A and B are shown apart, each in its own frame.
Chain A
């Protein structure tokens, strides 16, 4: 039997009827046509479907849409504002933090919560912090740099060099 729920996504409330078994990621992608949130492994391993629910990063392939009733959801579509890119998006752009881009929305949403809880993480803290997000292209170094860049930008600190390192 379908349930009526109201989920606020990126500030806009959506009232929809869903089967209890509908996964949150399917609501976002298929019913509401916001395809920035990706489905990778579909087993809560890869983190491509990461979104924020009331500010907490979550794997939306392992949460039911009905569980998000009354909650505030943020997806990658909600990061940029009229003023421009979110610092984490700028960080990824400036540091070549993506190749194919499949993991990027999930990586960025995860990084947003990480920086919210720990505004100046060490490299090790960043690597533990993104342990639930898999990237098969970059080898993670530039993702770590992107998050360090965003941290500096959000703190108003001097921005780290975005010159590529040849190792």
Chain B
């Protein structure tokens, strides 16, 4: 399978990349890891007339701690998450997710930024970013702006990244106090999209009362979904089995999965319920 013809540039600075996007207009696309875009182009679901390959733009692959935030450069690869000591020690949720994303070869190239900018509710990072209350930095001709993750996903393949703009950084507030997080998705086989996936991040105070909760759901809604009622059910609670069961029940009720090859609606709601319960417990275990 061969994509339709297109033009190609590989700029060596962000400024150059932005002017190329300006120049080529609405049919230009940014190429990062390419493991979502190129398959779509081969199947001719996508036919951009120009690709702006940002892989040669230096200084966009970092994963570090700065100003009380975890900062992930848009070109950080999935494998960089797995190899990062900072991620391993403070945000094991990314290791949970990354291990289940495609396979090692794809993770060598696929980027965290691309996983989000693709705007697919079946991707795994969106739910994780919802649970962690991430902020997305978008750079355009006018400069930088920051969008909270809750305002980032518009619809199927649509995000806050507008024509002529590039997603440049994801930042996540470093948790204060006792914190635990976990992600899991049910997949039929390695490399499959999630039947359903659940990301959970919790903080608790000294008395064991939950002070904040973030819960994101994968592939059970047209856009990545925050399970708000489940979060509310946990905050202020002692995270008893009853509280957890209630939160899990809310997540199952509030998502809107569709029937497909991976299962029917009822089955997927059940999977959400079970995974929500398990991920809350796993997050608690990691506190």
| Interface residues, chain A, with chain B CB atoms under 8 Å away | 1, 3, 19-23, 26, 42-45, 47, 50, 56-59, 62-64, 66-67, 69, 110, 113-114, 128-129, 131-133
Contact = CB atoms under 8 A, between A and B. Distances in A.
A66 B104 contact: no
A58 B104 contact: no
Contacts of B10: 66-67, 69
A131 B190 CA distance: 7
A21 B34 CA distance: 13
Given A63-B38, A67-B34, A21 B4 contact: yes
Interface stretch (B105-113, B177-185, B235-243, B262-270): B105-113
B89 interface: no
A140 to B, nearest CB: 12
A41 B230 CA distance: 41
Interface residues of B, number: 30
A42 B1 contact: yes
B207 to A, nearest CB: 39
Contacts of B5: 19-21
Contacts of A64: 8, 34, 38
A59 B51 CA distance: 19
Interface of B: 1-8, 10, 31, 34-35, 38-39, 41-42, 51, 53, 55, 79, 99, 102-106, 108-109, 190-191
Contacts of B6: 20-21
A19 to B, nearest CB: 7
A111 B210 CA distance: 45
Given A42-B1, A45-B191, A20 B7 contact: yes
Most chain B beta-carbon neighbours within 10 Å: one of A20, A43, A47: A20
23 contacts: A1-B7, A19-B5, A20-B6, A20-B51, A22-B2, A23-B2, A26-B2, A47-B105, A50-B105, A56-B79, A56-B108, A58-B105, A59-B106, A62-B38, A66-B8, A67-B10, A67-B53, A67-B55, A69-B10, A114-B104, A131-B104, A131-B191, A132-B104
B104 A129 contact: yes
Contact of A132 (B1, B55, B103): B103
Contacts of A26: 2
Contacts of B55: 67
A57 B42 contact: no
A56 B55 CA distance: 15
Contact of B105 (A21, A57, A67, A128): A57
Contacts of A67: 10, 31, 34, 53, 55
